[in-house]
C-alpha cells in the first residue's frame, strides 16, 4: 500500500513556527510607529513652551495648559477647548507661586477658576499659553526651591536659584533693549 504523507506536524515544527511568529511580531511591534501620545511624556518645566509649540504646529491655534486644584493634573486646551488630555507637571506636595514682572515690581498671579463643563469648576494654580502668532505668556514661577522664567517663545525657560536673580536678569535685559 502506498504511503500517504505525514498526518501532521511534529511538536518541534510547531514550536519552531511559533517562535518565528513571536520574533517577527516582536520586531514588527518594536519598529512599528505607534505614535506615542506626546501628552503622556514627562515634561520638564523649563521646556514647557517648546512642548506646547509642537502642538501649535499640529493645530495652528492657541495651545494652553491649565493646572488645577493641587496642580498634579494639567489640562491641555486648544483654542480654549479641553482636549481631554492631561499631563503631570507638578508634584502635589510642592508649593507653586506664579508672578508677572512689569519692569518695576513682581505681581503674584491669581488665576480665574476653570470650568471644565457647566457643572464642574476647578481652582487653577497655573495657566500658560503659547499663541500661533509667535508669542507666549511671560511668567516667573517659584517651584521646588527654584525659579523658572518662561518668557521667550522659542527658547527653553531660564532657571534661577532665587526670585531676585530672575528679576535682575529681566532688568538687565530691559536695559540692553533700551540701549540699542
49 belongs to a structural domain:
yes
Amino acid 34: pLDDT:
39
- Residue 115 near residue 123 (C-beta atoms within 8 A): no
118 belongs to a structural domain:
yes
134 belongs to a structural domain:
yes
Amino acid 142: pLDDT:
92
Q: Residue 59 is part of a domain; what is its CATH number? A: 3.55.40
Residues 6+ apart with CB under 8 A from 34: none
How many domains is the chain built from? 1
170 belongs to a structural domain:
yes
152 belongs to a structural domain:
yes
Q: Give the domain range for residue 119.
A: 38-179
Residues in the chain: 180
Whether the model clears a pTM of 0.75, i.e. scores above it, the answer is no
Across the chain, the runs of DSSP E, i.e. the strands, are 63-68, 73-78, 81-87, 96-101, 106-108, 114-117, 120-122, 124-131, 135-136, 139-143, 146-150, 158-160
26 belongs to a structural domain:
no
pLDDT in tens, the chain (180 residues): 555 656 778 999 889 999 988 888 777 665 544 344 444 456 788 888 787 877 666 767 888 889 888 888 888 888 888 888 888 888 876 788 999 988 888 899 999 888 877 788 888 989 998 888 878 888 999 998 899 998 877 788 899 999 999 999 988 988 887 775
4 belongs to a structural domain:
no
8 belongs to a structural domain:
no
Amino acid at each position: 500500500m502506498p504511503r500517504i504523507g505525514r498526518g501532521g506536524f511534529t511538536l518541534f515544527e510547531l514550536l519552531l513556527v511559533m517562535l518565528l511568529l513571536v520574533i517577527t511580531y516582536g520586531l514588527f511591534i518594536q519598529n512599528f510607529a505607534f505614535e506615542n501620545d506626546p501628552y503622556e511624556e514627562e515634561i520638564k518645566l523649563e521646556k514647557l513652551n517648546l512642548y506646547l509649540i509642537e502642538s501649535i504646529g499640529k493645530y495652528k491655534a492657541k495651545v494652553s495648559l491649565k493646572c488645577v486644584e493641587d496642580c498634579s493634573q494639567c489640562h491641555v486646551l486648544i483654542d480654549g477647548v479641553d482636549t481631554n488630555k492631561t499631563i503631570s507637571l507638578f508634584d502635589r506636595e510642592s508649593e507653586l507661586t506664579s508672578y508677572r514682572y512689569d519692569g518695576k515690581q513682581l505681581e503674584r498671579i491669581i488665576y480665574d477658576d476653570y470650568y471644565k463643563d457647566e457643572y464642574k469648576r476647578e481652582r487653577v494654580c497655573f495657566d500658560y499659553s503659547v499663541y500661533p502668532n509667535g508669542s507666549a505668556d511671560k511668567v516667573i514661577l517659584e517651584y521646588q526651591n527654584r525659579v523658572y522664567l518662561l518668557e521667550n517663545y522659542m527658547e527653553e525657560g531660564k532657571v534661577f536659584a532665587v526670585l531676585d536673580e530672575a528679576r535682575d536678569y529681566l532688568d538687565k535685559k530691559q536695559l540692553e533693549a533700551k540701549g540699542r
